Chains A and B, each alone.
Chain A
């Protein structure tokens, strides 16, 4: 029983990473009907930007001799990296995807893969082939509840992810941009005739998705403090699977499926040898998709309108 609860905590942590990244895939898909295959690498870029900001803040604090508390640096790091990474997302939209808006979807997919490779190798060229270790901004502490052990980092990761998702939910439901995104997720044609430009909404969508990926990158760096240029590849693909599982373009679906993916992985690894984890976990997901090809909340209707 204790082990069961322990696994739930772990699943929530991994689910948080997957969900935050999957949201970016789904949001972009809902607006532009394309998957941004560079998104996993935006997660990596976000982690590196976070690394840079955290290091700079620590250096700055040491320089002026002011002992800034770790949690403050962490909050600032998350906010600043989300801010800067959102510009990376907007840049990718502007130079990578906008010229291809009328092109076949396959061209956009290939572009995404290429942008991903450019980000990975660009990072290699810039920082060299060494792994960086993310600074430990907060001291680890372990709390014991009954027989299960929870670290403060795990709690933090889950709480920060859930609050970001809640803010996103409010933004989409309440703000005018959220309203425009919801309208655009249904059709392309009528929205511009209401005076709303897709060239405003699409970059904003990329910005938000990238900011969430950056947050995931820093939280990931907090839990697994080794950064390398290819850290976003596998995680990005898994989050992509979550986005498909949740239903293409569904925000709620992406978040829920992200957590479900975390649960499936952790519990498969609990029951079976861990070398078989991904084989079994993704076979299960393949099976689910066989019966629900549109995922949990996917709708078939919008495809006809826009392709």
Chain B
């Protein structure tokens, strides 16, 4: 059974069709890439899956459970983690707190427990702190744990965001341009981190990316989105040689 299945998802913003008839079958353990020019609707697809917008038509299922009409926090609770293109971090909070925050619903203590400082409350806080630190180590940002997230280098901020997305124990991880603004050095590091996360946490990944090298190296399957429609789908090799993709990326060859 497919882990994440999307059938004929269509979305309109007013009269504008942002996404039309989008289909996806994401098998457990797979990495699928979503490429396409700016404004093609890639981030909109993420927003539709995570419940920020509700699709006008179509179906989204995670492990056979319908996600349409659920609130974003419920969808996250079912096992969908994501990062953002423009880094939605809480600038005035430290790195450790970012990850602990994502463990919010795993922290099991009540209001009274918090006020009276019960043993259970302390144990829970300790357990989650340990889990968060472990994630920070996985993403190579443990050294920054007590620093404000805004003081970190850009690449490290991206990794904090990924650690935060992993903290909700996702079954599917949605990465929105994980290498945007990165240096080639950071890029290679990101590739190996994603590989490691994919292996260690056995998480399926759907990622949006601009850099073809990155997608080609990581993904088993690639979809190319243009004006809200998938124009090509296949293995990296197939996509690379698909004339429609080349046209969308490089423009039509003009023979005069």
Residues of A within 8 A of B (CB): 167, 171, 174-177, 179-180, 182-183, 186-187, 189-198, 301
Q: Choose, from B36-44, B69-77, B185-193, B212-220, the stretch at the interface.
A: B69-77
Q: What are 28 A-B interface contacts by the 8 Å CB criterion?
A: A176-B107, A177-B114, A179-B93, A179-B100, A179-B104, A182-B90, A183-B97, A186-B93, A189-B84, A189-B88, A190-B89, A192-B71, A192-B73, A193-B76, A193-B81, A193-B82, A194-B76, A194-B102, A194-B164, A195-B76, A195-B77, A195-B102, A195-B104, A195-B105, A195-B168, A196-B105, A198-B73, A301-B91
B114 touches A183 (CB 8 A): no
CA distance A183 to B164 in the complex (A): 13
User: Complex: how many Å from CA A179 to CA B89?
Assistant: 13
Bound Cα distance A186, B45 (Å): 25
B52 contacts the other chain (CB 8 A): yes
Contact B104 A190 (CB under 8 A): no
Whether a CB of chain A sits under 8 angstroms from the CB of B252 is: no
- B224 contacts partner chain A, Cβ-Cβ < 8 Å: no
Give Cα A167–Cα B114 distance, bound, in whole angstroms: 11
Q: Which of A171, A189, A194 contacts B104 (CB 8 A)?
A: A194
Instruction: Give the 10 A-B CB pairs with smallest separation, nearest first.
Output: A190-B88, A192-B72, A195-B76, A194-B102, A192-B73, A197-B73, A186-B90, A175-B114, A195-B105, A195-B77
Give how many A-B residue pairs fall within 8 Å (CB-CB): 76
Residues of A within 8 A of B77 (CB): 195
The minimal Cβ–Cβ distance linking A37 to chain B, given in whole angstroms, is: 27
Report the minimal beta-carbon distance from B100 to chain A, rounded to whole angstroms. 7
Nearest neighbor of A173 in chain B, beta-carbon distance: B97
Q: Establish whether residues A196 and B104, one from each chain, have CB atoms under 8 Å apart when the complex forms.
A: yes
Complex CA gap A237/B105 in Å reads 37
| Chain B 110-126 interface residues, beta-carbon cutoff 8 Å to A | 111, 114-115
How many residues on chain B are close to A (CB under 8 Å)?
31
Residue of B nearest to A197 (CB): B73
In the bound complex, how far is the Cα of B102 from the Cα of A196, in angstroms? 8
Interface on B for A, CB 8 Å cutoff?
A: 50, 52, 71-74, 76-77, 81-82, 84, 88-93, 97, 100-102, 104-105, 107, 109, 111, 114-115, 164, 167-168
- The reply to whether A193 and B104 contact each other, CB–CB distance below 8 Å, is no
Contacts of B100 in A (CB 8 A): 176, 179
17 further interface pairs, Cβ-Cβ under 8 Å (given A177-B114, A190-B84): A171-B115, A179-B93, A179-B101, A183-B90, A183-B93, A183-B101, A186-B90, A189-B52, A189-B84, A192-B73, A193-B72, A193-B73, A194-B73, A194-B104, A194-B167, A195-B73, A197-B74
Residue of B nearest to A190 (CB): B88
B115 proximity list for chain A (CB < 8 A): 167, 171
A187–B115 alpha-carbon span in the complex (Å): 26
Chain B residues near A191 (CB-CB < 8 A): 101
Minimum CB–CB distance from A187 to chain B (whole Å) comes to: 6
Known A-B contacts A171-B114, A194-B102; A182 and B168 likewise in contact (beta carbons under 8 Å): no
Q: Which residues of A contact B167 (CB under 8 A)?
A: 194
CB distance from B103 to the nearest CB of A (A): 8
Enumerate chain A residues within 8 angstroms of B97, measured Cβ to Cβ. 179, 182-183
Query: How far apart are the CA atoms of A174 and B111 in the complex, in Å?
Result: 12
The smallest beta-carbon distance between A166 and chain B, in angstroms, is 13
Q: Using CB atoms, name the residue of chain A closest to B80.
A: A193
* Contact among B52, B73, B84, B93 with A196 in the assembled complex (CB-CB below 8 Å): B73
Give B111's nearest chain A residue, CB to CB: A177
Task: Name the distance in Å between A59's Cβ and chain B's nearest Cβ.
Answer: 28
- Please name all residues of chain B whose beta carbon is closer than 8 Å to the beta carbon of A190 when the two chains form the complex: 84, 88-90
The distance in angstroms between the C-alpha atoms of A183 and B96, with both chains bound, is 13
B92 touches A186 (CB 8 A): yes
Give chain B residues whose Cβ lies under 8 Å from the Cβ of A193: 50, 52, 72-73, 76, 81-82
Q: Write out the residue numbers on chain B whose beta carbons fall within 8 Å of the beta carbon of A186.
A: 90-93
A177 to B107, CA, bound (A): 10
Cα distance A127–B176 when bound, in Å? 59
Task: Determine how close the nearest CB of chain B comes to the CB of A169; give it in whole angstroms.
Answer: 13
A194 touching B92, Cβ below 8 Å: no
